[in-house]
Amino acid sequence: MPSTWRLGLLLAVLMACSTALCITVAGWAMRQNLSSIARAVVLDDLGEYAVLYNRNGLKELKEVFEAGKHEESQAVRITNPEGETIFEQTPEAVTGYNWPKRPPKTLKPAETWLMTITHTEREQQLLVGCQILGDQNALWFGRTDAEDLAYVEYIRRHLWFAGLASTALMLLPLWWFVRHVLRPVQEMMQSTRQLAQGRTDARLQAPDAVPELQAFASAFNTGLDRIDALTAELQSANDNLAHELRTPLARIRGNLEIFHDHIDNPTARDAAARSLEEIDRAAELVQTILTTRAAEHKALKLHLEIIDLRQLLADLFDLYKAAADERGLNFTFEAPDTRWVLLDRQSINQAVANLLDNAFAYTPRGGIVTLALGIHGEQARISVRDTGPGLTPADQTKIWQRYTRGSAASANTPGMGLGLSLVQALAHAHNGSTGCRNQDECGAEFWIDLPAGDPLASANVV
């Protein structure tokens, strides 16, 4: 569940619980207060009617009771010592209650006795008071709590309305929090995911965020800009250095060849040969850097030709089969029928060779390496699968960067982390793409996706 809904649900539950608690406590307090008021009313009216009866008899009591207009919620009655009713004024709303026939024997004149009577079918209760009159008759006065219950219900409805209004008002801070805090944080998280996927141009965006988040995004973006500037400066220096080294390396190699050919000392000839090998490795490294840089900017000059992609891969398979047998690897080739495409043979050969070199380097003896070609519509996928250690989640995004090696690499594994960056650059130069993933069982799969439409139409476009 998103954080917005969690926070909204939490606030709604808290407000509902708070409102229910307030209504419960307020209802209980009002019931207690109204109960005390009802007892006071019964005692007061009971004493008043007793005085009227003792002074002027039943007639004045009846007149005063009817003048009070309480016929709907109050009742009065007079019984003799034997429990027979002498006078009774009981409205319909007060009927159905079982009044006591006689007061307690311990009740003395001028004393008051109170009791509560429940109804068999109604929720309302009847509060009854009794007092012994001067002629030993008993005066009974009862009052229902119907008005009290209606008043409590009226207050409860208004409290619920106030609770709902408070909940609506509480949603305003929630809306502000979502708009200026949660939503900017989610946008920042999306930007960080793009950064993790290798998009170095992604930046944190927080135009509507709170000032603290805006300051954080600004500081973070400033750091990213500086890193990008340093990286660009480093890559530029690296490329310039490689470009400047190419000519001196060629001259050194020429001098070493002359020295190697004109020296008779075996030790010096052997040292010169080893030096030539190191010069060739350095020259290859320089050329790889320059080729990668040119391909990334689509400045690489491609010698495009219409070739049979299946035959190109079959030739590579035959070339690497001996090396696979020497390493004790099971090397297989999977490809459909012939597919003619427009590409640079040497560049694609170099890209696939780099993938095969990696697969051979990381697959243990007895493992399986598969070179495969798949055609999906107007796209061709060249894939290399192995049964090596596989890739970590961090490897799958960072392994394509220059000078970055996988977590499975060790000091004994050859390479400087330029092979996959070159593969990606060459695919990019052909308007293609690259990717990698872990296989279900074990090992990893690397692939190159290339356009495989009509080669003649592509050639005409070029």
What is the domain partition of the chain in residue ranges?
3-151, 211-296, 304-461
DSSP 207-252: TTS-HHHHHHHHHHHHHHHHHHHHHHHHHHHHHHHHHHHHHHHHHH
415 Rama class: left (phi>0) / alpha (psi -120 to 50) / beta: left
Q: What is the CATH number of domain 304-461?
A: 3.30.565.10
pLDDT for the residue numbered 446: 93
pLDDT for the residue numbered 69: 61
DSSP bridge pairs for 344: 304
pLDDT for the residue numbered 103: 87
**What CATH class does 3-151 carry?**
alpha beta
Residue-wise pLDDT tens for the chain (462 aa)?
Answer: 666 677 777 877 887 788 788 878 887 888 888 888 888 888 888 888 888 888 888 887 887 887 766 557 788 888 888 888 888 888 888 888 888 888 888 888 878 889 888 888 888 888 899 998 888 888 888 888 888 888 888 888 888 888 778 777 777 777 777 777 777 887 888 887 777 666 677 787 777 787 888 888 888 888 888 877 776 766 676 666 666 666 777 777 787 778 777 777 888 878 878 877 777 766 666 666 666 666 666 656 778 888 888 999 999 999 999 999 999 999 999 987 777 888 888 889 989 998 999 899 889 999 999 999 988 888 899 999 999 888 888 777 778 777 676 666 654 566 667 778 888 888 888 888 999 999 887 889 999 999 887 666 555 444
Q: How large a percentage of the chain has pLDDT more than 90?
A: 11
The CB density around residue 129, as the number of other CB atoms within 10 Å, is: 23
pLDDT for the residue numbered 407: 63
The two tokens of residue 191 are 């930007």
CATH topology of 3-151 equal to that of 304-461?
Answer: no
pLDDT for the residue numbered 367: 92
pLDDT for the residue numbered 68: 65
The whole-model pTM stands at 0.46
pLDDT for the residue numbered 296: 63
Residues in CB range of 168: below 8 A, 6 or more apart: none
CA 366 to chain centre: 44
Q: What is the CATH number of domain 211-296?
A: 1.10.287
Place of tokens 């990019």: 428
Q: Of 299, 296, 325, nearest to 424 (Cα)?
A: 296
